[in-house]
């Protein structure tokens, strides 16, 4: 089984390096892998499947083209939890739950649900993921949702700036318990923007990084899993 796992691209502008590298990444990787997993925060903010922006159109086109060659799975992150069935059908992808357990017992997660020390965030997360809240926000006009999305981003940046760094990382006890409960031998997640490989008793935790200074991918070739980074400044695969 050949798979690649990415997260935290925070795409916004189709002309930005990260967006261009994403298109190239999907083109190159889809020619040699069986499955591509996007573990949340593909975009900086998703305001609904009726988004008519250039970025939303480009994103759907890229994904639709990719799925002609391989399967693409998308997990909600804390920025794009409003991706819905309309977008999924249009782009030809499958939205998966968090956590998600693969057939070979790899546990996949965006990672934010494991950051239980940040109690303020967990309270907000519960609200934003509720059916009632999402139905209410999606009932608003596209213009209203765009304004709300901008306000939510500003509030998040302000709140995170005043938090100790350790509470925005995963809680090790909670993470160990979740992996054990799902009988997984590997956990792959993003969200924390702290890429790395952590060996734990009974399992390995692999953290995909944000596409900021470079792009990050966890690559699987059967039982071999590796974390790689690549330049966002030049064409992917060159």
User: Model confidence over 212-221: pLDDT tens digits?
Assistant: 989 999 999 9
Q: Is residue 237 part of a domain?
A: no
pTM of the model: 0.95
Q: Is residue 142 part of a domain?
A: yes
- CA-nearest of 28, 29, 59, 30 to 44 is 59
Q: Is residue 24 part of a domain?
A: yes
Q: Is residue 238 part of a domain?
A: no
Give tens-digit pLDDT for 103-151.
Answer: 999 999 999 999 999 999 999 999 999 999 999 999 999 999 989 888 8
Residue 236 has pLDDT above 90, yes or no: yes
Per-residue confidence (pLDDT) for residue 162, from 0 to 100: 64
Report the CATH number that the domain containing residue 20 is assigned in CATH: 3.60.21.10
Per-residue confidence (pLDDT) for residue 161, from 0 to 100: 62
Give tens-digit pLDDT for 36-62.
Answer: 999 999 999 999 999 989 999 999 999
Greater confidence (157 vs 3) lies with: 3
Q: Is residue 236 part of a domain?
A: no
Domain of 60, in residue numbers: 2-231
Q: Is residue 112 part of a domain?
A: yes
Q: Is residue 39 part of a domain?
A: yes
How many folded domains does the chain comprise? Answer: 1
Answer yes or no: are the C-beta atoms of 99 and 178 closer than 8 Å. yes
In this prediction, residues 200-229 reach a mean pLDDT of 97
φ, ψ of residue 143 to 5 degrees: the values are: -65, -45
Residue 228 has pLDDT above 90, yes or no: yes
Per-residue confidence (pLDDT) for residue 157, from 0 to 100: 74
- CA-nearest of 219, 237, 222 to 37 is 219
Q: Is residue 194 part of a domain?
A: yes
Quote the mean pLDDT of the chain: 94
Answer yes or no: are the C-beta atoms of 178 and 205 closer than 8 Å. no
């Amino acid at each position: 089984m050949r798979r690649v796992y990415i997260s935290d691209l925070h795409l916004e502008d189709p002309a930005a390096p990260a967006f261009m590298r994403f298109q190239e990444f999907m083109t190159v990787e889809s020619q040699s892998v069986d499955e591509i997993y996007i573990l949340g925060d593909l975009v900086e903010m998703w305001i609904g499947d009726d988004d008519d922006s250039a970025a939303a159109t480009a994103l759907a086109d890229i994904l639709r083209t990719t799925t002609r060659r391989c399967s693409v799975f998308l997990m909600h992150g804390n920025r794009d939890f409003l991706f819905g069935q309309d977008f999924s059908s249009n782009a030809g992808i499958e939205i998966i739950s968090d956590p998600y357990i693969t057939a070979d017992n790899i546990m996949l997660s965006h990672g934010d649900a494991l950051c239980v020390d940040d109690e303020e965030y967990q309270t907000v997360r519960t609200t934003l993921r509720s059916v009632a809240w999402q139905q209410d926000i999606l009932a608003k006009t596209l213009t209203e949702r765009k304004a709300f999305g901008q306000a939510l981003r500003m509030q998040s940046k302000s709140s995170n700036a005043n938090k100790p760094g350790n509470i925005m990382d995963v809680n090790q006890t909670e993470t160990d318990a979740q992996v054990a409960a799902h009988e997984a031998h590997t956990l792959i997640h993003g969200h924390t923007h702290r890429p790395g490989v952590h060996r734990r008793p009974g399992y390995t935790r692999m953290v995909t990084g944000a596409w900021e200074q470079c792009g990050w991918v966890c690559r699987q070739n059967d039982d071999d899993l590796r974390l790689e980074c690549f330049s966002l400044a030049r064409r992917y695969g060159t």
